[in-house]
Amino acid sequence: MTINLELPKKLKASVELTHQAAAEVLRPIARKYDLAEHQPPKELDTASALYDGLAAAGQAPSGSSGDRKTDEAEKPKPKPTVDPTASRNGGTMESIINAIEMCWGDVGLMLAFPYQGLGNAAIAAVATDEQLERFGKVWASMAITEPGFGSDSAAVSTTAVRDGDEWVLNGTKIFVTSGGRADHIVVWATLDKSLGRAAIKSFVVPREHPGVTVTRLEHKLGIKASDTAEIRFENARIPLDNILGSAEINVEKGFAGVMQTFDNTRPLVAAMAIGCARASLEELRRVLEDAGVVIDYDLPINAQSYAAAEFIRLESDWEAAFQLTLKAGWMADNKLPNSMQASMAKAKAGRVGSDVTLKAVELAGTVGYSERTLLEKWARDSKILDIFEGTQQIQQLIIARRTLDLTSAQLK
């Protein structure tokens, strides 16, 4: 199978428009909202309104919704063969390259951008046609983590109990990105704890709703422009059809239905890390060149200064993460199973993001450590991108299971 990972020509206009927004809207206010944690970025509301106008005119790129996984795509199939002439670049690829550009501007502001929540990617992944019609215009955060667990998504203890024509939700979620601002929340809850992973489903819940309380906003190392909330659900009643996908508990299928969400969102988080790291590389190059460091790609590494050699190493590592992420997105758009590739992209990009941004602070010396540039901010922002949507260790575990063809019970 041959995949051309050059940027598709049809997406170049989208990239240019998004880069312009990142440069003119996000980058200039990045420091302002880093210093004003929990203050809503009002400039984003104006930008969002403009974005909606362009979208209505067919001139705006798609957001972070990614590409949808249909019921047909969920059915077991023989290993597909790909006709290169039928290859396509769709919503996932466009979302990835737009996320890269937005996070080149600012990761926190990108996460705070109205209607671009990770919950929107979850809705795109598993919603029915009717649900897409109802929830297609909402701004959705995603609530998975609880006080009792972090990386083990199967340990969900928030409950959803059917009562007539409604689901009744009870439980507490923590570290909900944009949980205080998004108007809806995609909540992971179990229908029956005794049935394990198979009983975990996702539900769309309005944030301003009886029984739903935002109990606190976290103070964080980075992405301070994006609020991170703790949310409590106390007998929160929602309609039966607010469950994403089927309410049927299929023990044989297990956790696969809900976990499809991550096949969409992990490449997007990888893209965020790639965008932030690219910003650091560009700024580091400027600082090094101003200091007289020559970066020469025609010379062997051992014939160059330490700073130049390290820059080339970081740049090549970044390129590997970029290509892995494009591959995961391309596979999603072409209806190929991409669970392992999504985890590979997330693992590589998350690690590279932290490595590049921290090394940039080190190599830039006092300039990197001070607030004269955004280098120290990008180093703080990048850390979360190696944690949320599954930590580095979880991604490696998933990759190992796929490579060795072992179940989660066989390899823990």
pLDDT by position in tens, the chain (length 412):
566 667 777 788 889 999 999 999 999 999 999 999 999 999 998 888 766 655 555 555 554 445 555 444 444 444 545 454 456 778 889 999 999 999 999 999 999 999 888 898 888 888 889 999 999 889 999 999 999 987 777 789 999 999 999 999 999 999 999 999 999 999 999 999 898 888 999 999 999 999 999 999 999 999 999 999 999 999 999 999 999 988 888 766 555 556 677 888 899 999 999 999 999 999 999 999 999 999 999 999 999 999 999 999 999 999 999 999 999 999 998 989 999 999 999 999 999 999 999 999 999 999 999 999 999 999 999 999 999 888 999 999 999 999 999 988 899 8
Q: Does 3.40.50.10860 match the CATH number of domain 256-404? A: no
- What positions carry a catalytic annotation? 389
Angle, CA 141 vertex, CA 136 and CA 147 arms, to 5°: 150
Predicted TM-score (pTM) of this structure:
0.90
Write down the domain spans for the chain: 9-70+85-130, 138-242, 256-404
CA 157 to chain CA mean position, Å: 23
* Third-level CATH fold of 138-242: Butyryl-CoA Dehydrogenase, subunit A; domain 2 (2.40.110)
Between CA 405 and CA 412 the distance in angstroms is: 13
Fold of 9-70+85-130: Butyryl-Coa Dehydrogenase, subunit A; domain 1 (1.10.540)
Q: Give the H/E segment covering residue 185.
A: strand 184-190
SS (HEC) of 278-317: HHHHHHHHHHHHHCCCCCCCCCCHHHCCHHHHHHHHHHHH
- Count the helices and strands in the chain (H runs, E runs): 14, 7
